[in-house]
Amino acid sequence: MIFDQEKFNPLDLTKKKILITGASSGIGRETALYLSKLGAQLVLLGRSASRLQETLKQLVSNAHVVIPADLTKLEDMTPLFEEA
């Protein structure tokens, strides 16, 4: 197989699923925005459901998952893994 330099994109994240903690604001939100532009399917995690929805509205595509949860609370972890 010959390597096709023109079609190679090392930043293509199509068909990749990525969990982003803190996706409701700051660095987490900006990371989500960037990775969605690269084609990734995102699992957005954060404490504020309304702010996660704001992040979701800004993303490319609609195949992403939003999970409001607080990682410091053990009871929030089970739903996280079941849904993600």
Beta strands 17-21 and 65-68: pairing type? Answer: unpaired
Q: Exposed (0-12), middle (13-18) or buried (19+): which is 69, by Cβ within 10 Å?
A: buried
pTM beyond cutoff 0.85: no
How far is the C-alpha of 60 from the C-alpha of 64, rounded, in Å? 9
Which one is predicted more confidently, 42 or 15?
42
pLDDT in tens, 46-74: 999 999 999 999 999 889 999 999 888 88
